[in-house]
Amino acid sequence: MIKVEQISKSFKGNSPVDSAIATSVLNGVSFEIARGDFVAVMGPSGSGKSTLLYSVSGMDRVTEGQVWFDGVSLSEMNEQSLSGFRLNKMGFVFQNAQMLKNLSIFDNLILPGLVAKKEKPQVIRKRAKDLMKRMDIDGLCGRDIREVSGGQLQRASICRAMINNPEVLFLDEPTGALNSEATDQVLDILEDLNGEGMTIMTVTHDLRVALRAKKVIYLRDGAIAGEKELTAGGNREQALDDWLKGV
Partner 1 sequence: MKLLINLVRKDFKRNPAITTALVVFLILAALLMAGGLRVAGTMISAYDQLNQKAIPPEYLQMHKGEYDNEAVGHFAANQDGIQDFLTVEMLTINNASIIYQGETLEKVLMDNSFVVQNVGFDYLLNMDNQVATVKPGEVGVPVYYAEILGIAPGDLITLKKDDYIKDLKVATIIRDAQMNVAMTSSKRFLISPVDQLELSQKMGEWEYSFQFLLKEGVDTGVLEQAYQSANLPANGVAITGSLLNLYNVFSYGLVAMIIVAISLLLIFMAMLCLSYIIRATMAEEQKSVGEMKAIGFPGKSIEILFQMKYLTLMAVAGIIGYLGAIPFGNFFSEAVVRYCGTGSSPGLIWGLPFLGMFFLSGMVAFGCHRVIKKNLNNTVMELLRGSGGRRREGHYTLPSSGFKYPNLTIAIGELGCKWREYGVILVVFVISAFLILLPMNMKNTIQDPSFITYMGVGESDIRIDVHFSQQINQQQDQVLKVLENDPEIEKKAIYKNGYLQAQTKSGEWQSIRVESGDQSVFPLVYLEGSAPIGSNEMALSYMNASELEKKIGDVLTVEYGGETMNYTIAGIYQDITYGGKTAKAAIDYRNEDVEVYILYLSLAEGINIDTKTNELREALPNIKVTPVPSFITQTLGGIVNNLSQVAAAAMAIALMISTLITIMFLKLIMAREHSAIAVKKAIGFTNRDIRIQLAIRILVILCLGIIIGTVLANTLGEAIFSLMLSSMGASRMTLLIQPLKAYLISPLVQLLVVAIAVIGGTKAVKHYHIKEQIIE
Distance in Å from the first CA to the final CA of the chain: 26
Quote the crossing angle between the two packed helices 121-134 and 105-116, to the nearest 10°: 140
Q: Does 207 bind partner 1 (CB under 8 A)?
A: no
Q: Does 177 bind partner 1 (CB under 8 A)?
A: no
In whole angstroms, how far apart are CA 181 and each of 186, 211, 213?
Answer: 9, 16, 19
Output the smallest distance, CB 36 to partner 1, in A: 23
Question: Judged by CB under 8 A, which stretch of 29-37, 105-113, 174-182, 191-199 contacts partner 1?
Answer: 105-113
Size of the site for partner 1 (CB under 8 A): 39
The residue from 112, 151, 174, 222 that contacts partner 1 (CB under 8 A) is: 112
In whole angstroms, how far apart are CA 203 and each of 32, 52, 57, 70, 131?
Answer: 15, 9, 12, 21, 23
The residue from 18, 70, 130, 144 that contacts partner 1 (CB under 8 A) is: 144
- How deeply is 27 buried, as exposed, middle or buried, from its count of CB atoms within 10 A (0-12, 13-18, 19+)? middle
The residue from 10, 63, 66, 88 that contacts partner 1 (CB under 8 A) is: 88
Instruction: Give the side-chain half-sphere CA count within 13 A for 9.
Output: 27
Q: How far apart are CA 25 and CA 7, in angstroms?
A: 10
Q: In 3D, which of 204, 221, 201, 226 has the Cα closest to residue 56?
A: 201
The residue from 32, 34, 35, 60 that contacts partner 1 (CB under 8 A) is: 60
Q: Does 191 bind partner 1 (CB under 8 A)?
A: no
The residue from 74, 153, 158, 172 that contacts partner 1 (CB under 8 A) is: 172
Q: Site residues (CB under 8 A) for partner 1?
A: 14, 50-51, 54, 59-60, 79-80, 83-84, 86-88, 92, 94-95, 98-104, 107, 110-112, 114-117, 120-121, 124-125, 144, 146, 160, 172
